[in-house]
Structure 1
Amino acid sequence: MDLETFAPGSGLLEPRAALRSDAPALDLNGTWRFRFSQSVNVHEDFAEPSFDDSDWDSLPVPSHWNLHGHGAPAYTNVDFPIPIDPPRVPDENPTGDYRRVFDLPEGWTGGRLRFEGAESFARVWLNGHELGFWTGSRLPAEFDAGPYLRPGRNVLAVRVHQWSAATYLEDQDMWWLPGIFRDVTLTRSSADVFVHASYADGRGTLSFEGEGTLSVPELGVADLAPGTEVSVEVEPWTAETPRLYDAVVTFPEETVRLRIGFRTISIVDGVLLANGRPLLFKGVNRHEFHPEHGRAVPYETMREDVLLMKRHNVNAVRTSHYPPHPDFLDLCDELGLWVIDECDLETHGFGEVGWRANPTDDPRYADALLDRMRRMVERDKNHPSIIMWSLGNEAGVGRNLAVMADWTRSRDSSRPIHYEGDRSCAHTDVYSRMYASHAEVEAIGRREEAPLDDPALDERRRGMPFMQCEYAHAMGNGPGGLAEYQELFERYPRLAGGFIWEWIDHGLAHPTYEYAYGGDYGEPVHDSNFVIDGLVFPDRTPSPGLHDLKKVFEPVRFEFGDGVVRVVNGHGFRDLSHLDFVVTVEADGETVAEHRLTVPAEGGEVKLPPPPAGDGELWVTVRAVLAADQPWAAAGHEVAWGQAPLKPFPSPVEPAAPAVVSAPARAVLDGREHHVLGDAEFDAATGRLVRLFGTEVEGPRLDLWRAPTDNDTYGGLAGKWRRLGLHRLTHRVDGIEAGDGLTVRTRVAPAVTDLGMRATYTWTAVGGGLELTVDIEPEGDWTDPIPRVGLNMTLPAGTVEHVTWFGRGPGEAYPDTGMSARVGRWRASIDELQIPYVFPQENGHRADVRWADFGAFKVRGYPVFGLTARPWSAAELDRARHRPDLVPGDRLHIGLDLAQQGIGTATCGPGALPAYDLRAGRTTFRLRFEPS
């Protein structure tokens, strides 16, 4: 049958540019009649105009039918959810039949039916006449409707199959979501135009291919004929300065409007250049996704994506792994993002069978792959934001890549070609990798990477710019290592930066789970929560990872010296004149002075105002904010910041010597014998604190466990920790000594192994407070990093409503994350201290805390500690699989940490760098407890 054909379609008109035309058009989006079937064996009589569809359901178009109760979504990352047997597909093939009745306006003649996207195979009838079929889910298809249109009532019928021969080309890491999910239009526009607008040395060169005449009134260009080239004085287009010029192309039957940006992309001596200047991608990979609509993303949401990216210093997008809705590219043109436009091609699942029968190397698929490349290039060729074409993603190697690349170069030589899957780079202009380690990235930056076997290809590749098309997998808590990657990108000119994987968590709204991931719909084959891997949560709330990314991607740097700050302009294409600079001085987290700085447009060293007199820990913060409204943010929006101590942080700080040493008293309380030390009570049998300043407490005691992050789990550390038993530690009291204070000697260890930790707690009453020193000594050979070294204590629920702390904040921070956290005084409720990761895991750790006030008491570090406060335990957090699984209990769980293991990006990529590994060793942890 046709859906197992290698052909990309039939009856299709030649692909053309997406254009804004004044030609008449009918929007056919809206409510369609719909019938769902589990197989393809359904009669085609529904295409007849007289067919009675009164008993059918209704379905909005654009949409995915399985998000409206017809079948169910399914998620896989690599694996095909059907047998790998190209071009054959199962008989159990979900099929949707669509019908749309529309009235043709009086006097209407001719026209084209245009479908922007349908997955994965669609056949079209108009008034009972079959127009043809198409594949290539994320690409437009047009059919000549003119001969079959009727005055008045018309009936459009479409049959969509989920599985087809084209499915083998669309194995992207995403939900399988069939249906007509982009716009449907009847248009009388037939225009096509290809504008060429380059820039060099202050002038633009303009010409175009097509018919009609082109005018750009602002540039004094009028009635430019096809093929004629003119030179004009222009401002260039860049992602930082997205200057566009309104143009009109006049045809005999219609007029189209487009916006032109002048820019030139080139490669010189292995460096990627835009308008002659080095181009550094600070990018993200973006799938189209909405938690309720899937890939049928509303325009308002697309705009929100671009605005969020701009506000977080993102300058580039890779359209993983298919061309996006054309409106998104218009937004990138308008607001300023560099774009790598990627073809709708991925055959990743063939890697599971040794790449046997891979379509990338199957000549029978050559036309289909070339068709997808042509339709992308022709649709998107006029966008200045698109500076690179990508052949696809994770599709192995094969002869069809050459077919795609050769045609693309012949059609558009102005943009480099990208493809990551072929390490030889035989058909590309850039060297692209995924998840290369920091060490490998540095070697490539030095042009010292491991050679290819072919000397000619190796020499060619060493002359290419290098980019990471995916790196720093943003799954769950993390990613770590961002700052170290960025330092390398900025140090070596060959490195053109990269694109974080990925923009958004693909969590589908779910009545039970809040957000669903793989397996939540009963899929027999799935990849669990691997689809929850974004910088923003499904509702597009920024994650801590995005806040960190904003800090790492800052286009302004601050280098502090003695009474001065050096402001470094990191923009590639503009100066600092659009920014204001604000200086704030804080003492112990409280603002004591604020000033404006006058900074030269090119940056440079600026004298700081003298610090105010007084005691306390003094910090100066310099902020770069927008001086005026920009299209993507209002005046006052913070672009960058830097911070430095004015009075050195006293580290380490020794506990104050007690003025009076008092021995613990013994008392019987609640029927049990206790030690009373100051305003604290200890169980005499266990030595554990049970009451503090009148509040019932349990603990603190040493713990080594944290609920594993996704990076811990997928990187293998969590498995090692569980095998070691760190999640089920036992505690043994070896001795309690009451002298000048209270000393409790313990051993903390898991069952099965002989590894353990000696922990000695020494409590001393000091000036109305209580000081605790914990001496820790490991026993045995601890070969792997451990999750955490910290103290756990609990209080009755409701004892603490808010926590105020002086340290880094307001967000979470771990050893290799938290670049966005700055030193200050912060306050948050217990709920606000939790980070709502879709898949629950370790979160919410506040770092470098000098002191924290819980209302019931205050904890001071010597010098600092890490802080968590949760309405559930680490064990409950570990057991949870969705956020609703976390139900507050009758205890508040407080963590006071000496150290945590780094986060890394091992879900896909390297684990934590060695500097951030937490190794067992002798150490001492000191805290002071005081009344609030």
Structure 2
Amino acid sequence: MLELEKYWENTQILEVNRQKPRAYYIPYADADSAKAGKRSRSPFYRTLNGGWKFKYYNSVHNITESFYDKNFDAANWDDLLVPSCWQTAGYDQLHYTNVNYPIPCDPPYVPDENPAGLYIRDFRIAESWSGKETYTVFEGVNSCFYVWVNGQFVGYSQGSRIPAEFDITPHIQPGINRMAVMVLKWCDGTYLEDQDLWRFSGIFRDVYLLGRDGAHVRDAFIKPELSSDLTEGVLRCELDTTGPLTLKAELRDADGKVCTTGQVQADGQAELTLNVSEPVLWNAESPYLYELYLSDGHEVLHFPVGFRMVSVENGIFTINGQAVKLKGVNRHDSHPDLGQTIPLNHMIQDLMLMKRHNINTVRTSHYPNDPRFLELCDRYGFYVVDEADLECHGLAVSGDFHQLTRDPAWEKAFVDRMQRMVERDKNHASIIMWSLGNESGYGSNHIAMAKWAQKRDDSRLVHYEGAAKRYEGDTDTEDLDIESEMYASPAYIGEYGADESRSKPLFLCEYSHAMGNGPGDLKEYWDMFYKYPKLMGGCVWEWNDHGIRARTAGGTEYFGYGGDFGDHPNDGNFCIDGLVSPDRVPHTGLLELKQVIAPVRIEAEDLEAGKIRVTNLYDFNGLSHLSFTWKLEAEGMLVEQGVLEAVDAGPHESAVFTVPFKQSLAEGRYFLTVMVRLKEETVWAEAGYEITFAQFEIGEEQESSDAWLDALRQRPIDIKEDGALITVEGNDFCHVFDKAKGTWVRLSKQDVNMIQSPLGFSIWRAPTDNDRNIKHKWMEEGYHRAGMKLYACSVQNQTDHEVEIAADFSLGGYMKHPVLKGQAVWRVDGSGEVSLAVKVKVREGLPFLPRFGLQITMPQGTEEVEYFGFGPHESYIDKRHSVRMGKYLLRVNDMFEPYVMPQENGSRYGTEWASVTNELGMGLLFTGNVPFSFNASHYLPEDLDQAGHLHELVKRKETIVHLDYKMSGIGSNSCGPELLEKYRLDEKEFEFGLQLRPIFKEDE
């Protein structure tokens, strides 16, 4: 066994020889290179990213070779790219777990069989670095590691997602040198890193060398300060040097013009102050950055500077004195192929998508991100809640959630994680709050973190949800600037907002769980956020699905989740809970969020006169950068369109504008849609990109009669009974009703049969992820196995051009009383149209129904869908703010939403009519007495329910159509509150009416 000091189970040894934490920067030789930010252009920077020799051991105790020796022969080792997670390269076990620790819960001890990865890299020290001090920086290593250079021990560090820097000057020589690193999968720090994520290991962020002069700037705290009236700025530069230096400072504006300069003689601690009159202020909407250059004659350090003030005023969260709403998401580092190794372009892609969907805030759940991510947030304009790499959620399972945070032996580890984050990230304008971590109980160690942060940096707020009132014990929250909750209901936050005794603003650090088909409660939250000034907004959980790209034995690609790789314990698909897919394709939930949090609200003022009220929900910007176009439609057809001129309003202000209709709206039903778009291209979207829209219904549909259809209805029909079968035949149709089944078994026109199997009523849907709790109650009552029982069936009324057939029925499953009982009255007239009128009574004491409606299986080739309703994408009663009323023509496949774990999807709320036909337009037309929920799919609910992944679905050749009286809403109860009562199908009695007519569309 390798002889090592066993630091990994010692809570008092967090590092050996690691440098004191400092701000992130790269030294450059000149200002232009520093401004460009391309690290390879610096002569003082040398990347160690690239190919390393690698060997994996399933236990550190199995290592017997002195691999760190300078002349060790590693030629037969594997090659591994760094940075990377060794699990994504095929080593060890891909493992997803949420709350449960993947090891026995016995802090600070970890299993003796502790996997280890050994890394070796030869590198060259250039002659130009002769005489310089050389440092190596590891931006992220999971979970702890030892470093040797040229066979000499350099140091040790733990804390996976915060940098570790070592001085390797005594150990190197000009020319070829060797670095050896041993990374352990687990250490005592593992108990502080129990986040809801894949458990990756290795050198997963950048590694590099820095060559510094003996006397250099070690650290810089760049502190932009503003006068109370925000008109005067002071840039206070607190500097720490390793020796005597003459430091010159130059501050340039965003156009490159020099604003002010300064100079200071520094030897150790020093301060340099620059005054800026009438500074342009930074905010997420207009992220104005100055550029500070610090030069000692050899090195140039570059710091973007944003002047902004974060404060709480009378219980209201403000930036630059303006009340601000945080429209945020929680974002994990997650790449479908690389795990937690995140390329720069991937970070940019995430932020650009967020910008395009009106998101202004990122919570770095639940650890500091790559420092370049924060630079991007500064530049593109995001508010950041920077969170310490700290979560002890597994202790909740052991029964003592507060065990570590109340143990003095762990205080050093807790505070160390806060210090290293704050010191690294303190110069970023985007960071508005420091977070003490996530789901770790609350106690003295957290309080020590908060006190240290407040003392070190009083320009930002300190946040920690774990101090919420539901945790008993420590009540000292004086150093926490805000109240924070997770998944509190809209009703609760409304009560908080109205409670005048509450002195702190409320932040929902997690809300509206976006797992699978969801979330469905966004509007209710934002109605409350806007109603009460003390509610500062929140961050949806979460940004992206954490699927791992995988392939079946047959080569089919899919996204894997917990349990797909033999991992245990695992939390299944609970990591598939984002607004975008693992490869960043937006889910409809993101479109919903975009609309609900849009920075412009448009409301009806006097629609008949064309008057609308426009409210600017930007916190700092006006509306002059936006264009407002409108269109008027009738029955899905464009009637008129135009542009609203000179629309503008100040932040948080409203104004009324008139849409200049030429069309008379005295009679008829119209839909007015106002679209808000960018006038000019930005870094995140093209000119003309739609920011939001609003749609209004004007007038009422006039009663009209289709004379040709009325005439068809009067045509004679022929009715024949043969045993249980009733055949209704007309001029061009032939329908067959089976009295033994109580339903239609054939609907045809011109000998084209439009249905593949008998019509039936349905109450079951493939449970969504947000049904994960209620589905157990549904299944206890047999909803998923509910079949039809026919009590009686007979012809009630019959004329020469019409017949009515009544069927008394129930729906239920074995062991249980029927879920509901009802009567369906079917009527056929001379046109061949089949009308349904159903009355239903639901048994008392049952949970609300997933849905109630008619299920129709149509034959192969029925692929064309046309409907008038909400679109173009799926919608539900509580998830419909991102869709608009119109006429849509699409394919059955287009109705499908490919959630990583199949579930109910693709329904269209508020449909007024729909047709499903073959390519020649032969099929069925559906209309309702009131708007209904409509879906057309190649999957039965049972197919979706039984498949764990998309590739497990077997597409049916037939088309399954659902025409629902109502579909219960989506909500966010996978982790959030229960579905709101108003969105539940909880009626105990209701009536429903539909019409089905065989059609040849081209003849209609």
Q: TM-score range by the shorter chain?
A: over 0.9
Alignment match, 1:82: 103
Q: CA deviation at 1:826?
A: 1.6
2: CA distance between counterparts of 1:653 and 1:548? 38
1: CA distance between counterparts of 2:711 and 2:824? 17
Q: CA deviation at 1:245?
A: 1.3
Which runs of no fewer than 5 residues in structure 2 stay unpaired? 1-5, 29-42, 241-246, 265-270, 469-474, 918-922
Q: CA deviation at 1:660?
A: 4.4
2: CA distance between counterparts of 1:359 and 1:26? 39
Q: What secondary structure is seen at the aligned counterpart in 2 of 1:407?
A: helix
Q: Is 2:629 the partner of 1:624?
A: no
2: CA distance between counterparts of 1:63 and 1:137? 13
Q: What secondary structure is seen at the aligned counterpart in 1 of 2:759?
A: strand
Assess if the C-alpha contact under 8 Å between 1:360 and 1:401 holds in 2: yes
Alignment match, 1:352: 397
1: CA distance between counterparts of 2:687 and 2:180? 50
Alignment match, 1:707: 766
Q: Is 2:869 the partner of 1:801?
A: no
**Structure 1, 35-44 or 384-393: larger mean CA deviation:** 35-44
Alignment match, 1:529: 573
1: CA distance between counterparts of 2:164 and 2:143? 12
Q: What secondary structure is seen at the aligned counterpart in 1 of 2:479?
A: coil
Alignment match, 2:220: 193
Alignment match, 1:695: 753
Q: Is 2:715 the partner of 1:665?
A: no
Assess if the C-alpha contact under 8 Å between 1:731 and 1:746 holds in 2: no
Q: Is 2:480 the partner of 1:435?
A: no
User: 1:49 is aligned with what amino acid?
Assistant: K
Q: Is 2:990 the partner of 1:922?
A: yes
Query: Which deviations, in whole Å up to 9, do the C-alpha atoms of 1:277-315 show, x marking residues without a partner?
Result: 001101000001011011101111100100000100001
Query: Which deviations, in whole Å up to 9, do the C-alpha atoms of 1:519-545 show, x marking residues without a partner?
Result: 111122111111111010111001011
Alignment match, 1:21: 27
Q: CA deviation at 1:107?
A: 2.9
Q: Is 2:261 the partner of 1:222?
A: yes
Q: Alpha carbons of 1:670 and 1:296: their partners in 2 closer, same or farther (altered >3 Å)?
A: farther
Q: Is 2:745 the partner of 1:682?
A: no
Query: Which deviations, in whole Å up to 9, do the C-alpha atoms of 1:443-494 show, x marking residues without a partner?
Result: 110126xxxxxxxxxx7xx211111000001111111111010010011011
Assess if the C-alpha contact under 8 Å between 1:618 and 1:645 holds in 2: yes
Alignment match, 1:158: 181
Assess if the C-alpha contact under 8 Å between 1:654 and 1:862 holds in 2: no
User: 1:408 is aligned with what amino acid?
Assistant: A
Q: CA deviation at 1:767?
A: 6.4
Q: CA deviation at 1:760?
A: 3.4
Q: Out of 636, 639, 642, which is 1:589 matched to?
A: 636
Alignment match, 1:786: 849
2: CA distance between counterparts of 1:277 and 1:766? 65
Alignment match, 2:825: 762
2: CA distance between counterparts of 1:652 and 1:117? 70
Q: What secondary structure is seen at the aligned counterpart in 2 of 1:111?
A: strand
Assess if the C-alpha contact under 8 Å between 2:402 and 2:442 holds in 1: no
User: 2:251 is aligned with what amino acid?
Assistant: V
Q: Is 2:17 the partner of 1:11?
A: yes
Alignment match, 1:505: 545
1: CA distance between counterparts of 2:760 and 2:971? 27
Q: CA deviation at 1:258?
A: 1.8
1: CA distance between counterparts of 2:698 and 2:129? 75
Identity %: 37
Q: CA deviation at 1:774?
A: 2.6
Q: Alpha carbons of 1:677 and 1:395: their partners in 2 closer, same or farther (altered >3 Å)?
A: farther
Q: Alpha carbons of 1:658 and 1:727: their partners in 2 closer, same or farther (altered >3 Å)?
A: farther
Query: Which deviations, in whole Å up to 9, do the C-alpha atoms of 1:709-736 show, x marking residues without a partner?
Result: 11111x2x11111111111122233213
Q: CA deviation at 1:864?
A: 1.7
Q: CA deviation at 1:406?
A: 1.5
Query: Which deviations, in whole Å up to 9, do the C-alpha atoms of 1:16-68 show, x marking residues without a partner?
Result: 11114215111110111110111011135111121111111111111111111
Alignment match, 1:571: 618
Q: CA deviation at 1:827?
A: 2.3
Q: What secondary structure is seen at the aligned counterpart in 1 of 2:417?
A: helix
How many residue pairs get aligned? The number is 917
Query: Which deviations, in whole Å up to 9, do the C-alpha atoms of 1:763-793 show, x marking residues without a partner?
Result: 4345635141231221532432110011100
Q: CA deviation at 1:695?
A: 2.8
2: CA distance between counterparts of 1:426 and 1:44? 53
2: CA distance between counterparts of 1:769 and 1:613? 37
User: 2:45 is aligned with what amino acid?
Assistant: A
- In the superposition, the TM-score normalised over structure 1's length comes to 0.95
Q: CA deviation at 1:757?
A: 3.1
Q: CA deviation at 1:411?
A: 1.1
1:346-425 correspondence runs (5 A)? 346-355=391-400, 358-423=403-468, 424=475, 425=477
Query: Which deviations, in whole Å up to 9, do the C-alpha atoms of 1:525-580 show, x marking residues without a partner?
Result: 11111111101011100101100000000000101123211111111111101111
- In the superposition, the TM-score normalised over structure 2's length comes to 0.88
Q: CA deviation at 1:670?
A: 15
1: CA distance between counterparts of 2:745 and 2:558? 39
Q: Out of 121, 145, 149, which is 1:100 matched to?
A: 121
Alignment match, 1:34: 54
Q: Alpha carbons of 1:769 and 1:625: their partners in 2 closer, same or farther (altered >3 Å)?
A: farther
Q: What secondary structure is seen at the aligned counterpart in 1 of 2:60?
A: coil
Q: Out of 690, 712, 718, which is 1:638 matched to?
A: 690
Q: What secondary structure is seen at the aligned counterpart in 2 of 1:98?
A: strand
Assess if the C-alpha contact under 8 Å between 2:259 and 2:276 holds in 1: no
Assess if the C-alpha contact under 8 Å between 2:630 and 2:643 holds in 1: yes
User: 1:24 is aligned with what amino acid?
Assistant: F
Alignment match, 2:786: 729
Q: CA deviation at 1:930?
A: 4.6
Q: CA deviation at 1:853?
A: 2.4
Q: Alpha carbons of 1:628 and 1:769: their partners in 2 closer, same or farther (altered >3 Å)?
A: farther
Query: Which deviations, in whole Å up to 9, do the C-alpha atoms of 1:823-882 show, x marking residues without a partner?
Result: 112222222211111111111101111222222232222232211111111111111111
Q: CA deviation at 1:361?
A: 1.8
Q: Is 2:599 the partner of 1:555?
A: yes
1: CA distance between counterparts of 2:334 and 2:65? 32
User: 2:22 is aligned with what amino acid?
Assistant: R
User: 1:182 is aligned with what amino acid?
Assistant: R
User: 1:609 is aligned with what amino acid?
Assistant: P
1: CA distance between counterparts of 2:864 and 2:419? 58
2: CA distance between counterparts of 1:185 and 1:660? 81
User: 2:180 is aligned with what amino acid?
Assistant: A
Which runs of no fewer than 5 residues in structure 1 stay unpaired? 449-458
User: 2:79 is aligned with what amino acid?
Assistant: S
Q: What secondary structure is seen at the aligned counterpart in 2 of 1:854?
A: strand
2: CA distance between counterparts of 1:44 and 1:311? 53
User: 1:681 is aligned with what amino acid?
Assistant: H
Q: CA deviation at 1:149?
A: 1.3
Assess if the C-alpha contact under 8 Å between 1:588 and 1:616 holds in 2: no
Q: Out of 263, 278, 283, which is 2:328 matched to?
A: 283
Query: Which deviations, in whole Å up to 9, do the C-alpha atoms of 1:234-255 show, x marking residues without a partner?
Result: 2110001101112211124410
Assess if the C-alpha contact under 8 Å between 1:101 and 1:154 holds in 2: yes
Q: Alpha carbons of 1:264 and 1:54: their partners in 2 closer, same or farther (altered >3 Å)?
A: same
**Structure 1, 672-681 or 601-610: larger mean CA deviation:** 672-681
Query: Which deviations, in whole Å up to 9, do the C-alpha atoms of 1:216-239 show, x marking residues without a partner?
Result: 133521125434241322211000
Alignment match, 2:888: 826
Q: Is 2:317 the partner of 1:317?
A: no
Assess if the C-alpha contact under 8 Å between 2:45 and 2:209 holds in 1: yes
1: CA distance between counterparts of 2:904 and 2:712? 40
Q: What secondary structure is seen at the aligned counterpart in 1 of 2:191?
A: helix
CA RMSD of aligned residues (A): 2.3
Q: Alpha carbons of 1:542 and 1:651: their partners in 2 closer, same or farther (altered >3 Å)?
A: farther
2: CA distance between counterparts of 1:213 and 1:488? 50
